[in-house]
Chains A and B, each alone.
Chain A
Amino acid sequence: MSTILSARKVTKYFGGLTAVGHLDIEMAEKSIHSVIGPNGAGKTTFFNCITGFYKPEEGEILFDGSSIVGLTSDRINYRGITRTYQNIRLFSNLTALENILVGLHSRLKSTVFGAIFNTPATRKEEAEALKEARRLLNFVGLSGKGDFLAKNLPYGDQRRLEVARALASKPKLLLLDEPSAGMNPHETEEMTAFIRRLRDELGISILLIEHDMRVVMGISEQITVLDYGEKIAEGTPAEIQSNPRVIEAYLGRGAATEGMATAHERFTNTKKSQ
């Protein structure tokens, strides 16, 4: 399988603090790859480096074989990377449908003059965009809620809408920042299944930040563990669970042996529940 994203020695400083240090990640196409680590480990900073919100001081990020470091985030969106946010960041005073239409922006071409004169090309494009937006709304299970202002949707719906908005630009790579944060176990399970669907049905590669170990262990093919901006482990869920450095990072030294058992137990539980 070919590599869709590869980060080489990516480094980002904030003042004297190394938020991400010499991080190497290879991500296979159409895989689900998780990035985990304690709070402040640099996971979201890494996301921000990929999407062009930050420019890493050192290192290279290759997407589909070409470098994306230094591109603005709109260019990176055109290349095929979109993301969702840890604290939901919808356009709150636009309707759900309009949020998705904004997500479609990079796929539309109509110009100001086309809009003023309402040319046939613009009209056709707008009609198709609307249709596609409704389809996405349906896909994430929000049909009938398209005319609600985003801020008036319940929490879970807002999360789904954010995914729909991200999907609108037809990404090859989707970055999900804690998609199950604040969800109850049932919703989390739904979200997990939904993420898997995105990969299986739409063929999107997914890079995931997640704290819920059930989700991570349940759907990831590869897991990268960060601590203080450095990669401390990488591997399949089973490998990660038995890695003493990971347990140490999460639970502290001494709890390592104990913690491994708990994590293992959790993992087997996840498997059973499926």
Chain B
Amino acid sequence: MNKLQSSNWFMALQIGVIGGIAAILISLLGMVEEFARRDIIAGVIEMGQTLLLMALLATGYFSARRSYTTRSFLRVIEGGVAGAVVGFLLWLLVQLIVALDLRTIFLNASPALIKILTFGGEGGIATFGLMFTLGILGGLAGALIQILPTRFSNATVQGLAWVALLGLLQDLIRVTLISLPTIGDALQWMFGGRNEKGLSILGAVVVFGVVAGVSVLPSGQSSRIQARLRALPAASQQTVRWISLALAAVIIFYLPNLLGSILSNVFNIVGLYILMGLGLNIVVGFAGLLDLGYVAFFAIGAYVMGVLTTTAIGPQAGQIVYGPQMTFWQALPFAVIISVIAGVILGIPVLNIRGDYLAIVTLAFGEIIRILAGSDFLKPYIGGSQGVVQVAKINIGELDFNSPQKLYYLIILAILLATFISWRLRDSRIGRAWKALREDEDVAQAMGIHLVSTKLMAFATGAAFAGLSGAILASQIGSIYPHSFKLLVSINVLALIIVGGMGSIPGVFVGGLVLVGLPELLREFSEYRLLVYSILLIVMMLNKPEGFLPETVHRRELHQEDSVDARPEPRPSAS
């Protein structure tokens, strides 16, 4: 055995150990057990096992990719070796749990975990064979995916990912389809019976086949469709665009009817976060001003709405001493305007502060607002820690917006407005000034950009969106408390922008759906929300720092016909 080969085996062992440690961590943190309640494919595999399988496949995949040899056969074997190490380490974990009862340290090292890891066994020495073999098989499979030509390996990965995703979201899909009986019945085969969760085996196979097939086949098919679309005359392209827009509009309009009250509520939460995300995207994504206290404007919007509309006024506990008892619509402009003023007030002292220092100052600002809201000093006016209750509901004449399904429309409207404003501003003079500021503040100023007004405009616009979001939240919940406005909200909003893609408007939507929507849908996640957040952020920063949907380059030099005379006009001598 030569040196290269031996270092190859060593590499496989190394990666196997890393994969094994990851699998052990997942198990000991309780994720495997917690997630076991959600089936991906009914009766075959649940989510906890899926997580372990993913770790195993990844181990095989990376050991094959890192390998120095070009011989496929050897690389697959190495994947198997790495997988075997994972299996062995997990078996070791089971033995340790059985022998030492680790529950005093690791709460999750329970018999239930052993059952999952050993597929129903008691954890005796005899399970070694099973776990070891499964490890090898998983590693081999991972390595096989790697050595396939890119086209096929991408197709496999995508197929598996879709099966997992559909299995995860089957609650959502099932609930949505119940109200459409024909489609619901037609898709009955895809999801198991009423009482089962997850995809049926047939459903999983079909989903995998369709997704993998679609992604393997074309390698030009989809681009050919795009090319054909581009070849169409401009007018028909416009028509296609309008039709797809209209289709999207119909779906968005009809969605709450399908979703029902609980899922609509999830969408509303996502919507309020997207609204905030659009605002913070202007501040951080466009203008590059790192704001960690963004929740302050959300709080201010909510509190203004609360104080101006509450009917709980009086000397008793839980009541505030003064309130004009406005309606939602009367108070809304105040909520937005006061948030904007707060944005400007924050903006002025931080005009000359950059980067990390700005982040710290804004962080402090957010905390100041939260602590003020909870303080006894302001208690008579804004309720202190007891908050403000009986906030006005939203209605237009007889039509009220109390149910989540109706509120949905209001939030969609607010998002559309904010998106439209973001989009118009992005391509305008002020948008360019923001981006120049983000790239190089000194040079931007030397190019004639007025720093004060440009920065304040960014803070003000961002604050307006957050204020709007907060005002709607206050009405939706009907009561507001200081503890709803923690630093974590700011961090969530920032994270959704980063994951979506800094400065990208569609990215805010993707980020909102992934980081706020998924955890709300997958309740088991909620306990591991921060863990999953941080893992997702680390993976994003390492592999795709620009985000899921990065800011697109705006092409504008298309029309060249009017640029014959190359000389700019000389400046008029008298100015």
Residues of A in contact with B (beta carbons under 8 Å apart) = 51-53, 72-74, 77-78, 80, 82-83, 85, 89, 91-95, 97-98, 101-103, 105-106, 108, 110, 112, 114-116, 118, 122, 126, 130-132, 134-139, 143-147, 149, 165, 167, 169-172, 201-204
Contact = CB atoms under 8 A, between A and B. Distances in A.
B443 A91 contact: yes
8 contacts: A95-B553, A105-B433, A106-B448, A112-B457, A134-B563, A167-B568, A172-B571, A202-B570
B337 interface: no
B430 A201 contact: no
Given A74-B447, A105-B432, 16 more contacts: A52-B446, A72-B445, A73-B446, A83-B446, A97-B556, A98-B554, A105-B429, A106-B449, A110-B428, A112-B428, A112-B457, A114-B428, A122-B428, A139-B566, A167-B568, A201-B570
A51 B448 CA distance: 11
Contacts of B445: 72-74
Contacts of A102: 432-433, 435-436, 444, 447, 449
Contacts of A92: 439
A103 B444 CA distance: 9
B560 interface: yes
B455 to A, nearest CB: 12
Contacts of A74: 445-451
A143 B570 contact: no
Interface string B326-364: 000000000000000000000000000000000000000
B424 A77 contact: no
Contacts of B439: 91-94
A97 B425 CA distance: 18
B568 A106 contact: no
Interface in B419-461: 420-421, 424-425, 428-433, 435-436, 439-440, 442-451, 457, 461
Contact of B447 (A72, A114, A132, A165): A165
A220 B101 CA distance: 86
A11 B16 CA distance: 66
Contacts of B436: 91, 94, 102, 105
B447 A77 contact: yes
A165 B439 CA distance: 15
A201 B447 contact: no
A83 B446 CA distance: 8
Interface residues of B, number: 42
A224 B464 CA distance: 53
A115 B556 contact: no
A147 B440 contact: no
B387 to A, nearest CB: 35
Contacts of A167: 568
B228 interface: no
A204 B435 CA distance: 28
Nearest first, the 7 closest Cβ-Cβ pairs linking A and B are: A106-B448, A146-B557, A115-B428, A77-B448, A91-B439, A170-B571, A138-B566
Contacts of B571: 80, 170-172, 202-204
Contact of B563 (A91, A135, A145): A135
A105 B447 contact: yes
B398 interface: no
Nearest to A83: B446
B553 A147 contact: yes
A112 B457 CA distance: 9
Contacts of B430: 112, 115
Contacts of A172: 571
B352 to A, nearest CB: 12
A52 B448 CA distance: 11
B254 to A, nearest CB: 29
Contacts of B429: 105, 108, 110, 115, 126
A89 B440 CA distance: 8
Contacts, number: 149
A151 B449 CA distance: 21
Nearest to B422: A116
A143 B435 CA distance: 23
B447 A106 contact: yes
A126 B431 CA distance: 13
Nearest to A129: B429
Contact of B446 (A53, A146, A203): A53
B575 interface: yes
B211 to A, nearest CB: 34
Contacts of A132: 568
Given A105-B429, A147-B555, A82 B446 contact: yes
Contacts of B435: 91, 93-94, 98, 102
Nearest to A201: B567
Contacts of A108: 429
Nearest to B573: A203
B82 to A, nearest CB: 39
Contacts of A130: 556
Contacts of A98: 432, 435, 554, 556
Contacts of B433: 102, 105
Nearest to A93: B439
A116 B446 contact: no
Nearest to B421: A116
B556 A149 contact: no
A134 B557 contact: yes
B447 A139 contact: no
A227 B320 CA distance: 71
Contacts of A170: 568-571
Contacts of B442: 53, 73, 89
Nearest to A164: B568
A82 B443 CA distance: 10
A223 B319 CA distance: 78
A169 to B, nearest CB: 6
A82 B445 CA distance: 11
Contacts of A147: 553, 555-557
B503 to A, nearest CB: 9
Nearest to B461: A112
Nearest to A202: B570
Given A95-B556, A136-B568, A115 B563 contact: no
Contacts of B424: 115-116, 118
A93 B562 CA distance: 26
Nearest to A145: B557
Contacts of A83: 446
B458 to A, nearest CB: 11
Contacts of A137: 557, 563
A94 B437 CA distance: 11
Contacts of B457: 112
A115 B566 contact: no
A143 B563 CA distance: 9
Contacts of B556: 95, 97-98, 130, 146-147
A254 B425 CA distance: 63
A94 B440 CA distance: 11
Nearest to B430: A112
Contacts of B431: 115
Contact of B448 (A97, A105, A135, A143): A105
B289 to A, nearest CB: 16
Contact of A135 (B451, B554, B565): B565
